[in-house]
Amino acid sequence: MNAEQVMDFSNFPQAKRIGVLGFGGLGQAAAKVLAPKREMILVTVADKKGYAYSPEGLNAKECIATYHSQGSVGYLDIFGTLTNYSIQDLIESGHPVDGYFLALPNLPNDFIASVAQQFIKSGWRGVLVDAIKRTSAVEQLLKMKEELQAAGITYMTGCGATPGLLTAAAALAAQSYSEIHQVEITFGVGIANWEAYRATIREDIAHMPGYSTETARAMTDADVEALLDRTNGVLTLENMEHADDVMLELAGICPRDRVTVGGVVDTRNPKKPLSTNVKITGRTFEGKISTHTFTLGDETSMAANVCGPAFGYLKAGIGLHQRGIHGIFTAAEIMPKFVK
């Protein structure tokens, strides 16, 4: 094990060194979210063709401009490295990084789990956070609990908007009730150009009838364009396989079959087609049936509602790691911490 890879959080400066794996629309938004933060500093980003690392911090605007103009942050002057094995090479480089946000598409369905395995095998110790969606994908990670504990890794899973922010809201709202009858999550997403979020849109398509993670992954951009032309740019998703269910069940809130997730994604209009909300219906100790509703502001974008919570959970994970608590945790178990 590289000595540089064994991290002693007590010796770190106040600003934690953060990496972002994946530099599509979500990864670029994550870099923008981190830019003004004082408690976290972006030191590394990776895309398919390379990575960039600077111990003093990367300039998000320069990273994004380089990615768009040359196709990879690996071309970034001084700090860039071109490689077809960017994640593996970055992990094995031994560069000090306190925590990573895995802003990666989970296509195929075991991809995020395979990345976690790379971290385990490398000897790196720190905090990982993802915004993974599928129940089956989260279940794969949950099975790795003992491996993550032994590796000294604190892993926060399902920590985006849904699952994530709305799952946590459901867990909090459930405290009013003696029994939860239903948790209904409905989301609305509006983006001006689907190509800025290619991977996210493909993951959404994978939830549609007649599609799977394999078929969605195999679709060319032209295939996606053709599908969107047929639907006027709108994807309507119902009864999705969404990890909110297993997370709320694991937290003891309610059985997973009482959780439903669905929504509408407009790929040609930045305005949300409907408001994102979670409704928690239950019976109080007095025997009354009631519903709590938590609604996100329409002005907050998908990127804001995913990246903000992800870094809040990353901060919470760092706090756990400092206390020697390793393993895997979900957004329904741990409250995120606001990152200044």
In this predicted structure, what is the pLDDT of residue 14? 80
* List 95, 207, 315, 326, catalytic entry: 207
In this predicted structure, what is the pLDDT of residue 12? 41
E strands in the chain: 16-21, 40-47, 50-53, 80-82, 99-102, 127-130, 154-157, 179-190, 234-237, 259-266, 277-283, 289-295, 327-330
Region label for 57, one of left (φ > 0), alpha (ψ between -120 and 50) or beta (otherwise): left
**CB contact at 8 A, 100 and 126:** yes
Secondary structure class of 188 (helix, strand, coil): strand
CA–CA gap between residue 89 and residue 181 (Å, rounded): 48
Put simply, whether the predicted model's pTM sits higher than 0.95 gets the answer: no
In this predicted structure, what is the pLDDT of residue 308? 96
In this predicted structure, what is the pLDDT of residue 193? 83
Q: Any catalytic annotation for residue 207?
A: yes
Please tell me the total number of residues recorded for the chain in this structure: 340
Which helix (H) or strand (E) segment holds residue 133: the answer is: none
CA–CA gap between residue 269 and residue 232 (Å, rounded): 11
* List 48, 95, 145, 203, catalytic entry: 203
In this predicted structure, what is the pLDDT of residue 1? 37
In this predicted structure, what is the pLDDT of residue 198? 85
In this predicted structure, what is the pLDDT of residue 312? 97
* List 16, 95, 133, 321, catalytic entry: 133
3-state helix, strand, coil in the chain (%, to 5): 40, 25, 35
Q: Tens-digit pLDDT profile for the chain (340 aa)?
A: 343 333 343 344 589 999 999 999 999 999 999 999 999 999 999 999 999 999 999 999 999 999 999 999 999 999 999 999 999 999 999 999 999 999 998 888 999 999 999 999 999 999 999 999 999 999 999 999 999 999 999 999 999 999 999 999 999 999 999 999 999 999 999 988 888 788 889 989 999 999 988 999 899 999 999 999 999 999 999 999 999 999 999 999 999 999 999 999 999 988 999 999 999 999 999 999 999 999 999 999 989 999 999 999 999 999 999 999 999 999 999 999 999 9
> Six-digit token pair at 321?
């790691």
In this predicted structure, what is the pLDDT of residue 3? 35
**CB contact at 8 A, 123 and 5:** yes
**CB contact at 8 A, 124 and 152:** no
In this predicted structure, what is the pLDDT of residue 13? 52
Starting from the edge strand earliest in sequence, which strands make up the sheet with 234-237, in order? 234-237, 259-266, 179-190, 277-283, 289-295
